[in-house]
Amino acid sequence: AQTVTQSQPEMSVQEAETVTLSCTYDTSESDYYLFWYKQPPSRQMILVIRQEAYKQQNATENRFSVNFQKAAKSFSLKISDSQLGDAAMYFCAYRSPSNDYKLSFGAGTTVTVRA
C-alpha cells in the first residue's frame, strides 16, 4: 500500500483564522489523485476537495484550498475563515491506477476551532 503521512495529529485554530494541514505521500507514479476527507463528530466521511496529479493548478472549493507540490510529494489543505463547523478529523488520501484504484489514507489530523 502507498504511504500517506499526516504529521500533525492535532491542530487548533481561532474562529475566522486560517489553518493549514500537511500531507505527504510516497509514490513513484506520475498519474494519481489526491483527496481530503472530513470526518465530523457524526463520523460521516465527507469529501472536501480533490486534486489530479497532472493538473498544476491547485484545487479550490470555497474556503478550502490545497497546495499541491508534485516534486515534493506534498498535498496540504488550507482552511480559510475557519468556522465552528469545520471542527473535525481530516484525512488525506491517495489513489493510483496501479493499485486497483484503492484509496490509501493517512492517520488523520484533528482540527479544533476556538470560538
Partner 1 sequence: DGGITQSPKYLFRKEGQNVTLSCEQNLNHDAMYWYRQDPGQGLRLIYYSQIVNDFQKGDIAEGYSVSREKKESFPLTVTSAQKNPTAFYLCASSSFGLAETQYFGPGTRLLVL
CA-only gyration radius of the chain, Å: 14
The residues binding partner 1 (CB under 8 A) are 1, 9, 31-33, 35, 42-47, 50, 52, 91, 95-97, 100-103, 105-108, 110
Shortest distance, CB of residue 82 to partner 1, whole angstroms?
22
* Length of the chain in terms of residues written: 115
Q: Give the Cβ contact number of residue 17 at 10 Å.
A: 13
The set of residues, in sequence order, having a beta carbon less than 8 Å from that of 53 and lying 6+ positions away, is 29, 30, 31, 32, 33, 34, 68, 70
Shortest distance, CB of residue 110 to partner 1, whole angstroms?
8
Shortest distance, CB of residue 105 to partner 1, whole angstroms?
4
User: Please, which residue, 81 or 96, has the CB nearer to partner 1?
Assistant: 96
User: Please, which residue, 32 or 79, has the CB nearer to partner 1?
Assistant: 32
